Amino acid sequence: MAVVMKRYGTKRILIISMTINCIICILTPVTADTFGSYGMMACRALQGFAQAGVLPALYSVLSQWAPPAERSFLGALGGSGSLLGVIVTMPVTGFLCSSSWGWPSSFYFNGALGVMWLALWIVLAADTPFDHKFISQVEKKYIASSLDHEENAKYRATPWTKILTSLPFLGITLAQFGCSWGDNISFIEMPSYINKILKYNIDANGVVSSLPFLANFILGFIFGYVADTVIRKRIMSLETCRKVFVTISTVGPAICLVSLSFLPENATILSCVLMVLHQSFSAAYQGGISMSYLDISPNFCAILMSITNAVCTICDIVVPLLVQVIVTDESNKSQWTIIFLIAAAMYIFATVAFVFLGSGKVQSWDDITDKKAAVDSDDTENCNTDINK
């Protein structure tokens, strides 16, 4: 998807992607009633395909719009949308499902939100500062100079072999994989734990489930700002800063999950506190892994994110299946303990992978100058000089 965006533009591809996604979301209840579970699965699969470009699009936009000195904060601002979606939809979905409107209304609500976002995107978005109709020339020059971008710049082909054999990129991918494993537990499985072990009903479950993500949403901005400040004031090197923030965003959640595993079932308040702390530590992701794609490859970061996103899809498939195999009785706390300990181990794996393999340096293969075009240009200039002589 990132390759397609590079060719046709991020704005255009996201318009198509989100239009498909909104239509399918709104039609899901009718499809489920008509075709049953197979219809529902088909809708979800199509939405998955339609949403494949969303994360790469974020990095494509950041690579064109975010000055290095503001990168972590702007990345946190852009990435906060997914958290805001969770914060809003979890309690609202719980309310709608338990209301007289029933579960179909939750799909209509989310589809309507998507349509509203799509309208704003069409009016306000642009692929690059040069294409934007509303920003000033001063702002365009500031962004272009800070990113060393040129209007109508020439580019060469994507260096696939060098990307796929890059150790820093491998470190990012492995770290992202470990974090995605833990995220799957938080996003998908934790509501079942809250319902069956902590005994919260559907309305309260939606609220409790959204609280950790509210903490992540708020702290993401703080961590992003702190990371930018630390780098700008040279308190730490870029690489050291990223590794410190990755450690916070992985070791912290691991400790919370281990602690949650050994709490008694009646410790509901403390369990909720640990879940909030889990996502609070995870917010440091905005100053760590999240911006590492841009650090090592500002020009191909969307492609790097696409590759990593594809690899992390394995977590989306494996984690629910593993939970289904291990947690045969959702009211059995000891079975959930195994799931949490595995997730904690994956977080530590992420820490080790990034600390040993991660980097804050732009990689040599990121150079996008069309060397052939440059040589041709030099030859032309030399010829013109000779003729003038």
Residue range 104-129: average pLDDT?
91
Residue range 157-164: average pLDDT?
90
Contact 360, 238 (CB under 8 A): yes
* Look-up of token digits 């040993």: 356
Please name the residues in contact with 202: beta carbons below 8 A apart, sequence gap of 6 or more: 94, 97, 98, 195
CATH number, residue 187: 1.20.1250.20
pLDDT tens readout for residues 30-52: 999 999 888 989 998 898 888 87
Complete DSSP assignment for 220-279: HHHHHHHHHHHHHTTSS-HHHHHHHHHHHHHHHHHHHHHHHHTS-TT-HHHHHHHHHHHH
DSSP state of 331: T
Reduce the DSSP state of residue 296 to 3 states and report it.
helix
Percent of the chain residues past pLDDT 70, beyond the cut: 89
pLDDT tens readout for residues 283-340: 999 889 988 998 999 888 888 988 998 899 899 889 999 999 999 988 888 999 999 9
Q: Residue 245: is its pLDDT beyond 90?
A: yes
Residue 356, pLDDT score: 96
Residue 377, pLDDT score: 40
CB atoms within 10 A of CB 338: 14
Q: How confident is the model at residue 2 (pLDDT cuts 50, 70, 90)?
A: low
Residue 388, pLDDT score: 46
Number of domains composing the chain: 1
**Domain enclosing residue 332, as ranges:** 2-149+157-388
Reduce the DSSP state of residue 200 to 3 states and report it.
coil
